[in-house]
Amino acid sequence: MRLTSLLFIVILISAFSAPASPADENGLPSSPSKIVYPPLDWTVPLGAPYRETLKNGLRAYIAVDSQLPLIEVAAYFRWGALKDPSGKEGACSLLGKLLKNGGTRDYPPDSIDAIIDRYALRVNISASEDLVEFSASFLSDFADTAFAVIKQMLFYPRFDERELDKEKKIVIENIRHRFDNPGPTLDIAYQKVMYAGSPVARISTEQSINRIKQSDLVDLHRRAISTGNCIFSIAGRFDRSAMIDRLEKLFPPATPVGDTSFPKISFGKSEKCLVIQKPITQAYVRFGMPLFKRPNADYYTVSIANFILGGGGFTSRLGTRVRSNAGLTYSIHTNAESNYTYPGTWYVDFFTKSETFGQATALSLDVIRDLLANGITDGELEHAKETLIGGLPSTFRSPFDVVATYGWNEYYGRSPLHFKQYADELGAVTKDEVRRALAKYLDPAAFAFTIVGDTAVLRAHGASEGFDLDTLSPRKIIAPNSIPQLP
């Protein structure tokens, strides 16, 4: 045994001691670092070859993909939580849950669950602020069953009273615990600070959920889920002509669509600083200011500026100085929000030990001031462009990615050539344009701060480390359970 081990060590040393040859007898490089990759021959796929307007009025993106015996579906309906009636916040979210779990005209809830399990159907229905999305995937051999279930869910929901009561109890229990963790607390509080008094700042409450009745969901379904209000994407193993015939039978003929516009959103007058008192050992911080609604001519310039400041991870200015060099946080990033429904914000987000809150915040502001004063380097500009443009192919990894992306693209009213123009728009950005965008959209004096943490500790360590909470006015300190009462 000892002799065998000794022999193995000798062989291992000999292998690593041998001179490295440039290539072996098969012509393979001797080291991964010597591998030469050919240039990537890739062009942006366009959505037009996949788009059809069917006889029933459905707008559809259809791609045949026979690589796997699979079919994937995504449907986008123009509705969302921003349209929830006042006092019944949470209605759209419940609609999504009950379309899947509330049974249908032909199938009680238990039967739908059994079919989904038996045929390994993956079905999801979600509702965000400005989108109701239906998605599904299933084996192509089970297409008949899957489409029968999809038709029932979308167009013949039952909204079973018992299931509605069960879902409401689940939602209410989640509401009771939504401020347990500082991350979600920060998210909600920041929306309250930036959009005070607007529909974006509304959140569901136990009272609003209890007010929602079956009749509310029936009415909501009638207005939101229809052929004319849908953009449909599908890819998989099927015959294209046969799939078009199937979709024309699946979706009823389009009828005139009612008002699907979203309420106008504006930024509200709010506190300069909102502190959520929570006895934790870390501080969760987000500070930001109003940005714009897309489309906007400055978006590509701002996206590069954002990447350099904090959106580029470890290589960004904030990632390098606050995280890597100073060791004050595990995670810090910036986000220049890309919103098409209402104006977004540009913010910095990080968490740090309570004792280093002042130091981390002051250093972050110093990094921003330095960027405003001195601009960016040629290297930073090129790295940002290469990274952002280089990520584009990952958006189109499969035929389903193509049709789903272009369905989403059309939903938000973007040009059919948006992705073809994306690289050109980013590539044309100059350093001077980035400097002008920074000066136009980023002002440390205009930041509004949202902080979750132990107020006494933050005050004690903030002023001595360069960031004094008491200098921010107007300022409000509240408990988490007071957030729903904010405008």
- Tens digit of pLDDT for each residue in 116-153? 999 999 999 999 999 999 999 999 999 999 999 999 99
Give how far the C-alpha of residue 286 lies from the chain's centroid of Cα atoms, to the nearest Å.
17
Say if residue 14's pLDDT is above 70.
no
Are 158 and 209 contained in the same domain? yes
- Residue 194's identity, in one-letter code, is M
pLDDT at 5 over 50: no
> CB–CB of 411/74 below 8 Å?
no
For 375-407, b where at least 16 C-beta lie within 10 A, e where not — what string?
bbeeebbebbbeebeeeeeeebeebbbbbbbbb
* Rounded Cα distance, 450 and 190, in Å: 6
C-alpha dihedral over 446, 450, 453, 455, to 10 degrees? Answer: 50
Residue 483 neighbours by CB distance under 10 Å: 18
Residues 449 and 393 in one domain: yes
Confirm whether 3 is domain-assigned.
Answer: no
Looking at the structure, tell me whether residues 290 and 160 fall in a common domain: no
pLDDT number for residue 271? 81
Q: What is the CATH number of the domain that holds 384?
A: 3.30.830.10
Predicted local distance difference test score (pLDDT) of residue 18: 42
Long-range CB contacts (< 8 A, 24+ apart) of 376-381? 376/305, 376/308, 376/431, 376/434, 376/435, 378/431, 380/308, 381/304, 381/308, 381/429, 381/430, 381/431, 381/434
**Residue 20 confidence (pLDDT):** 44
Q: Are residues 201 and 119 in the same domain?
A: yes
Please choose, from the candidates 126, 43, 148, the residue with its C-alpha nearest in 3D space to the C-alpha of residue 79: 126
In this structure, the strands spanning 475-478 and 273-277 are parallel
How far is it, in rounded angstroms, from Cα 340 to Cα 129? 11
Judge if 237 and 189 occupy the same domain.
yes
Do residues 372 and 240 share a domain? no
Q: Are 274 and 451 in contact (CB under 8 A)?
A: yes
Q: What is the pLDDT of residues 48-82, one digit of tens each?
A: 999 999 999 999 999 999 999 999 999 999 999 99
Task: Fill in the amino acid letter for 172.
Answer: I
Q: What is the pLDDT of residues 157-197, one digit of tens each?
A: 999 999 999 999 999 999 999 999 999 999 999 999 999 99
Q: Are residues 242 and 313 in the same domain?
A: no
Across residues 221-237, what is the average pLDDT?
97
Tens digits of per-residue pLDDT, 194-208? 999 999 999 999 999
pLDDT at 403 over 60: yes
Q: Is 400 inside a domain boundary? A: yes
Regarding whether 305 and 241 lie in a shared domain, the answer is: no
Q: Over range 335-342, report the average pLDDT.
A: 96
Checking if the pLDDT of 484 tops 50, the result is yes
Position 3 scores a pLDDT of 39
- Are 60 and 166 in the same domain? yes
Cβ(209)–Cβ(94) below 8 Å: yes
pLDDT at 397 over 80: yes
pLDDT at 6: 42
At 1, is the pLDDT very low, low, confident or very high (cuts 50, 70, 90)?
Answer: very low
pLDDT, tens digit, 9 for 90 and up, residues 240-257: 999 999 999 999 999 999
Mean pLDDT along residues 246-275: 92
B/e letters for 265-301, b = 16+ CB within 10 Å, e = fewer, are bebeebbbbbbbbbeeebbbbbbbbebbebeeebbbb
357 lies in a domain? yes
289: containing domain:
273-485
- So what's the pLDDT on residue 37? 77
In a domain? residue 257? no
Other CB atoms within a 10 A radius of the CB of residue 246 amount to 16
- Residue 33 pLDDT level (bands cut at 50, 70, 90): confident
Within 8 A by CB and 6+ apart from 204, the residues are 89, 90, 93, 171, 175
d(CA 33, CA 43): 27
CA 129, CA 262: separation in Å to the nearest integer? 9
pLDDT band per the 50, 70, 90 thresholds, residue 12: very low
Q: Is the pLDDT score of 420 beyond 70?
A: yes
From 103, 210, 195, select the one nearest 152 (Cα to Cα).
103
In the prediction, which pLDDT does 2 show?
44
Average confidence (pLDDT) over 82-107: 96
Cα(329)–Cα(315) distance, rounded to whole angstroms? 15
Confidence at residue 289, expressed as pLDDT on a 0 to 100 scale: 96
Where is the domain boundary, 184, 219, 250?
Answer: 250
The pLDDT of residue 25 is 62
What region does 331 belong to: left with phi over 0, alpha with psi -120 to 50, or beta?
Answer: beta
Which tens digits make up the pLDDT trace of 101-122? 999 999 999 999 999 999 999 9
Q: E strand or H helix at 211, and its extent?
A: helix 206-211
Would you say residue 374 lies in a domain?
A: yes
Query: Which residues, at least 6 apart from 65, have a Cβ–Cβ distance to it below 8 Å?
Result: 235, 236, 237, 398, 399, 400
Q: Over 70: is that where the pLDDT of 258 sits? A: yes
The reply to whether 2 falls in a domain is no
Residue 230 has pLDDT above 80, yes or no: yes
Query: Is 60 exceeded by the pLDDT of residue 8?
Result: no
pLDDT tens digits along 355-370: 999 999 999 999 999 9
Strands of the sheet with 273-277, listed across from one edge: 332-336, 345-353, 282-290, 448-453, 273-277, 475-478
Binned at pLDDT 50, 70 and 90, residue 465 comes out as: confident
Question: Which residues are within 8 A (CB) of 242 and not within 5 positions of it... i.e. 6 or more apart?
Answer: none
φ/ψ of 390, rounded to 5, equals -65, -20
End residue of a domain, out of 250, 284, 313 = 250
Domains of the chain: total: 2
222 and 281 co-located in one domain: no
- Residue 317 domain-assigned (yes or no): yes
Are both 226 and 278 inside the same structural domain? no
d(CA 39, CA 28): 19
Q: What is the pLDDT of residue 26?
A: 67
Of 482, 18, 453, the closest CA to residue 279 belongs to 453
| Length of the chain in terms of residues written | 487
Q: Which pLDDT band, with edges at 50, 70 and 90, does 23 fall under? A: low
Q: Quote the mean pLDDT of the chain.
A: 92
Burial class of 154 by CB neighbour count within 10 A (0 to 12, 13 to 18, 19+): buried
Q: Are strands 273-277 and 448-453 parallel, antiparallel or unpaired?
A: parallel
- What gap in Å lies between CA 313 and CA 335, rounded to an integer? 11
Residue 341 in this model has a pLDDT that exceeds 90? yes
* pLDDT at residue 22, rounded to an integer: 52
449 class by beta-carbon count within 10 Å (0-12 exposed, 13-18 middle, 19+ buried) = buried
Strands in 59-64's sheet, in edge-to-edge order, are 51-53, 59-64, 230-236, 70-77, 132-139, 122-127
pLDDT at 24: 57
Residue 121 to residue 138: CA distance in whole angstroms: 5
pLDDT for the residue numbered 21: 44
Same domain, 232 and 277: no
> At residue 16, does pLDDT exceed 70?
no
- Residue 152 · residue 93 · CB < 8 Å: no
Does residue 14 fall inside a structural domain? no
Q: CA–CA separation, 406 vs 412, rounded Å?
A: 10
Contact 278, 452 (CB under 8 A): yes
CA distance 307 to 346: 12
